[in-house]
Chains A and B, each alone.
Chain A
Amino acid sequence: MKRALASAVALVAALAGMTAPAFAGASPINLTSKVFVEREIVDSSGRRSVVLEQPSKVVPGDRLVFVLNYRNASQQPAARFMVTNPMPSAVAFERTQDGSEEVSIDGGRNWGRLVDLRIPLAEGGVRAATPEDVTHIRWFVPQTLGAGSGGKLSFRGTVK
Chain B
Amino acid sequence: MKKVVFLSTCVRLTSLTAAAAMFGIVASPAMAAGTLAGTSIDNTATASYDGPGGNRVDVPSNTVSVVVDELLDVVVDSANPGDVAAQPGDAAQVLKYTITNSGNGPEAFSLVANPAVTGDDFDPSLVQIVIDSNGNGAYDPGVDTVYVAGSNDPVLSPDSSVTVFVINGIPTTATDGQRAAVELAATAKTGSGAPGTSFDGAGEGGGDAVVGSTGADGSDSGFYIISAASVALNKTATIVDPFGGNQPVPGAVITYTLTATVTGSGSATNLAVTDAVPSGTTYIGSSITLGGNAQTDAADADAANITSGTVTVNLGDVAGGQTRVVTFQSRIN
Contact = CB atoms under 8 A, between A and B. Distances in A.
13 contacts: A21-B52, A31-B59, A33-B61, A33-B64, A34-B64, A35-B41, A57-B210, A58-B41, A80-B49, A83-B48, A86-B44, A88-B41, A145-B49
A35 B34 CA distance: 20
A31 B41 contact: no
B48 A84 contact: yes
Interface string B198-225: 1000000000101010000000000000
B279 interface: no
A46 interface: no
A29 B52 CA distance: 12
A82 B208 contact: no
Report which residue of A16, A76, A160 has the largest number of chain B beta carbons within 10 angstroms of its beta carbon: A160
A59 interface: yes
A85 B45 contact: yes
B43 A59 contact: no
A30 B46 CA distance: 10
B66 interface: yes
B68 A90 contact: yes
Interface of A: 10, 13-14, 16-24, 27, 29-35, 37, 55-61, 64, 66, 68, 70, 76, 78-86, 88, 90-91, 145, 159-160
Interface of B: 32-35, 39, 41-54, 57, 59-64, 66-71, 104, 198, 208, 210, 212
Contact of A59 (B44, B50, B210): B210
Report which residue of B47, B48, B60 has the largest number of chain A beta carbons within 10 angstroms of its beta carbon: B47
Nearest to B68: A58
A97 B212 CA distance: 28
A83 B47 contact: yes
B50 A14 contact: yes
Contacts of A76: 52
A64 B52 CA distance: 36
A59 B59 contact: no
Contacts of A13: 50, 52, 54
A86 B60 CA distance: 12
Contact of A70 (B39, B41, B47, B104): B47
Contacts of A24: 51-52
B45 to A, nearest CB: 4
A58 B69 contact: yes
Given A27-B59, A29-B59, A32-B61, A81 B47 contact: yes
A60 to B, nearest CB: 3
A31 B61 contact: yes
Contacts of B69: 57-59
Contacts of A19: 53-54
B209 to A, nearest CB: 9
Contact of B35 (A21, A68, A78, A90): A90
A29 B57 CA distance: 10
Given A31-B46, A33-B64, A159-B35, A59 B71 contact: yes
B52 to A, nearest CB: 5
A160 B36 CA distance: 9
Nearest to B59: A29
Contacts of B62: 32-33
A6 B42 CA distance: 37
Contact of B34 (A10, A60, A83): A60
Contact of B46 (A17, A20, A83, A91): A83
A159 B64 contact: no
A118 B69 CA distance: 34
Given A91-B41, A159-B41, A35 B53 contact: no
Given A24-B52, A31-B61, A57-B198, 20 more contacts: A14-B54, A21-B52, A22-B52, A30-B59, A59-B69, A59-B210, A60-B32, A60-B35, A60-B71, A61-B34, A68-B45, A68-B61, A80-B50, A84-B47, A84-B48, A85-B43, A85-B45, A88-B42, A91-B43, A160-B34
Contacts of A22: 52-53
A21 to B, nearest CB: 7
Contact of B104 (A59, A64, A85): A59
Contacts of A21: 52
A160 B158 CA distance: 14
Contact of A78 (B49, B60, B63): B49
A88 B44 CA distance: 9
B50 A78 contact: yes
A86 B64 CA distance: 13
B66 A35 contact: yes
